[in-house]
């Protein structure tokens, strides 16, 4: 209770990731009954509401909405109005806006009610064929190659499946990075889930790169990348395998030789930072004389 009025509820509602029929009966009830729907992009969500004859007002609430939008929503909730938070697709907060509002609502003692439903991450995982009891979701990989390789190196010792959201224009580079880090570890690309062209591509990184060359559609649309769990007993994970020069060459394209040596020393166990620095200087000079990387 807040004053004399009972506070409203904040519903966090999952919406379709492609197929508009993936809206649960409960999600429909909630979207029809709340005072307003807070949406990442009101024009985008208007299509979903139209297709389900939902007349509830839409209010814009995105990652740049800021503290004033959160305060406004809290005032409405405290005044007894219930609100639903949705994003453009899937489950809000999963690489979508909403975390500050939900945090503020929790802190204000407002009841937060999740309405579960689609998420690209779980749909991809359960269709991947890999064990799904434990997994590590790492969101989007960094766009800079040095940082991407560094993160993949850090994550590769984990024995569970690794799940990433991936941007189509980066797919080839990411697959090449997976190959550099652990060429034998299979991966799955889950593309256009729940849509007309839903496709799962499966194989080792080199096989996926071959498929990509043969089928340019593979790099179109939305996709999730899943890297297989390591085989039980496989101790030959990436840090022991990566070629020092390959790693340093990638790093010196992005960062100074001393930063490259520092990062590489963390990745390659037992390596001497001084030697790595000398090598990074040499490779840095080579890379400079070769000009821009054709993969960039």
Applying CB under 6 A, which residues contact ligand SAM? 17-18, 87, 89-91, 94-96, 119-121, 165-166, 190, 192-195, 222-224
- Comparison of 120 and 149: residue with beta carbon closer to ligand SAM: 120
Cβ 85 to ligand SAM, closest distance in Å?
A: 12
Query: Nearest-CB residue to ligand SAM?
Result: 90
User: What are the helix (H) ranges across the chain?
Assistant: 25-33, 42-51, 66-78, 99-107, 120-128, 145-155, 171-181, 205-214, 238-241, 244-252, 257-267, 273-290
- Comparison of 121 and 263: residue with beta carbon closer to ligand SAM: 121
Both tokens of 258, joined, read 């001393």
Cβ 113 to ligand SAM, closest distance in Å?
A: 17
Cβ 24 to ligand SAM, closest distance in Å?
A: 14
Cβ 15 to ligand SAM, closest distance in Å?
A: 9
- Comparison of 41 and 184: residue with beta carbon closer to ligand SAM: 41
CA distance 264 to 212: 30
SS3 12: strand
Query: What separation in angstroms does the CA of 27 have from each of 15, 24, 111?
Result: 8, 5, 17
Cβ 68 to ligand SAM, closest distance in Å?
A: 23
Select from 191, 176, 183, 181 the least CA-distant residue to 226: 191
- Comparison of 54 and 224: residue with beta carbon closer to ligand SAM: 224
- Comparison of 194 and 244: residue with beta carbon closer to ligand SAM: 194
Would you say 9 and 110 are in contact if contact means Cβ atoms under 8 Å apart? yes
């Amino acid at each position: 209770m807040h004053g004399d009025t009972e506070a409203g509820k904040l519903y966090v509602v999952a919406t379709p990731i492609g197929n508009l029929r993936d809206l649960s009966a409960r999600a429909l009830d909630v979207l029809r009954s709340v005072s307003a729907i807070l949406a990442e992009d009101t024009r985008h969500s208007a299509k979903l509401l139209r297709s389900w004859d939902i007349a509830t007002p839409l209010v814009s609430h995105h990652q740049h909405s800021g503290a004033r939008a959160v305060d406004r929503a809290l005032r409405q909730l405290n005044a007894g109005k219930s609100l639903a938070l949705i994003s453009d697709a899937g489950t809000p907060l999963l690489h979508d806006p909403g975390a500050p509002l939900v945090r503020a609502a929790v802190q204000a003692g407002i009841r937060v009610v999740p309405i579960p439903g689609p998420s690209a991450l779980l749909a991809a995982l359960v269709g991947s064929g890999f064990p799904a009891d434990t997994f590590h979701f790492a969101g989007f990989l960094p766009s800079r190659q040095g940082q991407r390789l560094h993160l993949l190196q850090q994550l590769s010792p984990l024995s569970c499946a690794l799940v990433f959201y991936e941007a189509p224009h980066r797919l080839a580079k990411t697959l090449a990075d997976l190959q550099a880090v652990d060429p034998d570890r299979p991966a799955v690309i889950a593309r256009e889930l729940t849509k007309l062209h839903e496709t799962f591509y499966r194989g080792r990184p080199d096989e996926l790169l071959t498929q990509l060359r043969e089928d340019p559609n593979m790099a179109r649309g939305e996709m999730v990348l899943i890297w297989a769990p390591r085989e039980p007993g496989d101790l030959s994970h990436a840090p022991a395998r990566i070629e020092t020069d390959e790693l340093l060459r990638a790093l010196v394209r992005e960062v100074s030789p001393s930063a490259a040596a520092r990062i590489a020393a963390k990745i390659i166990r037992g390596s001497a930072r001084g030697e790595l620095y000398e090598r990074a200087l040499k490779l840095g000079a080579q890379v400079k004389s070769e000009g821009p990387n054709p993969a960039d």
